[in-house]
Amino acid sequence: MATARPGWSRRAQYGLFFSFIAVIAGIIVGLILLTLSLVAPQQFDRVRGAALDLTAPVTGGLHEVVATAEGLFSGAGNYWDAANQNAELKRERQAMLRRMVEAKAIFQENLQLKAVLQLREHERGTIAVGRIVGSSFNSPRRFAILSAGTNDGVKIGMPVRSPDGLVGRIIDAGALASRVLLVSDRANIVPARLLRNGIPIIAQGRGDGTIDVRPLEVGRNPFKRGDIIISSGTGGLYPPLVPIGRVVKLDDDGAVALPMADPATTSFAIVEPPFEPSAVSDNTPSTPGHP
């Protein structure tokens, strides 16, 4: 196809013409598929799930190697200055124990108050536990690959958290692995509130590993550096009281927060059922931000 005319051979000329047509057809098919995946993304759920399953064993296997290598280095670092660390940990443990007793008392009181109010709360179970084994490389979107799939009961739309905080929600599910829309993605908006004073805020990813947080009510900037953001459970998709991020920088009418659950260092992630199951079934067909 390098020259305008390959010579006097009819066969070569036709070959050139048909390959030209085939490329145009490729572009058109691509555009149609792209339009479909923008308008009706759930069409391709099965294909995308199958692709995830194909790479899951490789990704999962290599992850063990990387984790072991990292563990060797950080493990060696832990022995450095062990005596001082030990003393400090003991002090911290004492302080934590005192706090825990207080918390237990508050928990008991909370139960009694809820019983008085006859507040019904859904049982929060664990659907599956997986590892975060990969992520999107080159994309303005932030996805991660989780090593648990529909075989473990994972469904599209379920929230994912780690012991440290909220990770995101499932957007593609294969049998062995699934894709998670991280809280740092631009399309992921989480209703949240400030732990310090309970002011309702909106947390939206910034696409570069950080989260943008804004108060719902316009006015004075309520944030301070070091503030903890927790989910509020509004909307019913994400469970309430899960830590989302820590404020690191203030700007004009909001702040920038770092996710508490850094996907790069999170070892285990827990898939939970949606807080209000009806929220997902209503939302999924029109969930914005689904690839």
Per CB under 8 A, residues contacting other proteins are 1-4, 19-20, 22-27, 29-38, 41, 44, 47-48, 51, 54-55, 58-60, 62-63, 66, 132-144, 172, 179, 184-187, 205-209, 262-264, 288-291
The answer to whether 79 and 199 have CB atoms below 8 angstroms apart is: no
Cβ partners under 8 Å of residue 210, min gap 6: 184, 248, 256, 257, 258, 259
The answer to whether 219 and 226 have CB atoms below 8 angstroms apart is: no
Cβ partners under 8 Å of residue 273, min gap 6: 124, 125, 127, 158
Nearer to other proteins, 12 or 100 (CB): 12
The answer to whether 180 and 144 have CB atoms below 8 angstroms apart is: yes
| Residue that is written with structure tokens 């920088």 in the block | 249
CA distance 168 to 261: 10
Nearer to other proteins, 21 or 117 (CB): 21
Nearer to other proteins, 19 or 112 (CB): 19
CA distance 123 to 164: 20
Q: Considering the complex, what minimum distance in angstroms separates the CB of residue 39 from other proteins?
A: 10
Nearer to other proteins, 53 or 273 (CB): 53
Q: Considering the complex, what minimum distance in angstroms separates the CB of residue 50 from other proteins?
A: 8
Nearer to other proteins, 181 or 194 (CB): 181
Nearer to other proteins, 62 or 97 (CB): 62
Of the candidates 192, 162, 202, the one whose C-alpha atom is nearest the C-alpha of residue 180 is 162
Give the tokens for residue 20. 């030209």
Q: Considering the complex, what minimum distance in angstroms separates the CB of residue 281 from other proteins?
A: 20
The answer to whether 214 and 192 have CB atoms below 8 angstroms apart is: no
The answer to whether 153 and 127 have CB atoms below 8 angstroms apart is: yes
